[in-house]
């Protein structure tokens, strides 16, 4: 099987070498590494060009992370697609491990794994050769019926813990690019979970860097969370109406964050868009859930 890694980048020149080298130094060589630079204004271009033909760099005007992923997916030719944020790293054996699991599990269309959070100081001092995995903890999951029922009892990892067979990415992508920064890995992983069974690896096969420029991880920004959840719910419902009940529940979570953020005017149009997707009964159920959640905030 041919393996492809896609890294979207925007002004992360400082972190890029860590991400790129974690892919290039895999125990099983990656067939193609595509780095999509989304209009960076730092020295990312010079960093990417320094790798020569070891990577496939693509430069585009700033259009948001979703657009960068779409560009990368359009260029990839792999059978297995791995996603990696520009400030994260892969475990040295990740590609080999996941490729082997895909080969042994033909019914699995996605494989997700845990990520270990580290600081910048830990990143610079870390000897990753010591991260040996003596035993894999693997679980086969199928959440399709649960999602149709409006529920999900599984917390999927962030972008850098996600990998897919190519036919599944053909269903998920292209991502919606309206309000691109707020169509994140939530849309990708929820879409995947609604489509097929897969595998979760309860081992840390990647490192997620926690720093002051993280958009979501480690942050408590109710406005961003509200915008993210409502956007995700809206576009998922448009593209996957079979999981409308699940989308309504995500929307309710977004409304709760909207309330915590002080009901900002900027989100009212987005809320109206989602409200227009619901029938009378759906609106009544969602309204009741929201009032109950809101009452608990008081």
- Is 134 exposed, middle or buried, given 0-12, 13-18 or 19+ CB atoms closer than 10 A? exposed
Of 49, 38, 28, nearest to 6 (Cα)?
38
DSSP letters for 88-100: EEE-TTHHHHHHH
CB contact at 8 A, 216 and 184: yes
The CATH code of the domain at 3-209 is 3.90.550.10
For 140-166, what is each residue's pLDDT tens digit?
Answer: 999 999 999 999 999 999 999 999 999
Of 135, 246, 134, 149, nearest to 190 (Cα)?
246
pLDDT at 277 over 90: yes
Predicted structure pTM score: 0.92
Q: Three-class SS string for 187-212?
A: HHHHHHHHHCCEEEEEEEEEEEECCC
| Distance of alpha carbon 207 from the chain centroid | 14
pLDDT at position 169 is 97
CB contact at 8 A, 255 and 223: no
Residue ranges of domains in the chain:
3-209, 222-295
CB contact at 8 A, 45 and 37: yes
pLDDT at position 98 is 98
Q: How confident is the model at residue 120 (pLDDT cuts 50, 70, 90)?
A: confident
pLDDT at position 217 is 55
DSSP letters for 39-56: S-SSSHHHHHHTTGGGSE
User: Which DSSP letter does residue 79 get?
Assistant: S
Facing residues of 199 across strands?
111, 140
CB contact at 8 A, 172 and 115: no
For 6-44, what is each residue's pLDDT tens digit?
Answer: 999 999 999 999 999 999 999 999 999 999 999 999 999
Facing residues of 165 across strands?
80
């Amino acid at each position: 099987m041919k393996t492809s890694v896609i890294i979207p980048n925007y002004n992360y020149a400082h972190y890029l070498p860590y991400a790129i080298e974690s892919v290039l130094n895999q125990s099983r060589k990656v067939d193609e590494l595509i780095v999509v630079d989304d209009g960076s204004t730092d020295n990312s271009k010079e960093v990417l060009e320094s790798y020569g033909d070891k990577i496939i760099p693509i430069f585009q005007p700033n259009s948001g992370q979703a657009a960068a992923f779409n560009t990368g997916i359009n260029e990839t030719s792999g059978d297995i697609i791995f996603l990696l944020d520009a400030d994260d790293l892969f475990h040295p054996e990740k590609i080999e491990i996941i490729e082997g699991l895909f080969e042994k599990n033909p019914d699995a269309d996605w494989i997700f794994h845990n990520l270990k959070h580290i600081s910048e100081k830990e990143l610079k001092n870390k000897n990753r050769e010591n991260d040996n995995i003596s035993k894999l903890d693997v679980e086969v999951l199928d959440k399709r019926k649960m999602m149709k029922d409006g529920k999900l009892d599984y917390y999927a990892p962030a972008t850098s813990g996600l990998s897919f067979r190519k036919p599944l990415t053909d269903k998920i992508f292209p991502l919606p690019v309206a309000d691109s920064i707020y169509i994140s890995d939530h849309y990708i992983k929820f879409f995947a979970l609604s489509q097929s069974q897969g595998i979760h690896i309860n081992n840390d096969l990647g490192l997620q860097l926690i720093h002051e420029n993280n958009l979501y991880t480690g942050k408590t920004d109710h406005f961003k969370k509200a915008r993210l959840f409502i956007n995700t719910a809206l576009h998922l419902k448009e593209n996957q109406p079979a999981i409308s009940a699940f989308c309504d529940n995500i929307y309710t979570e977004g409304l709760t964050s909207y309330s915590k953020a002080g009901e900002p005017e900027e989100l009212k149009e987005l809320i109206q868009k989602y409200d227009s997707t619901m029938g009378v009964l759906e609106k009544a159920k969602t309204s009741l859930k929201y009032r109950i959640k809101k009452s608990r905030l008081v």
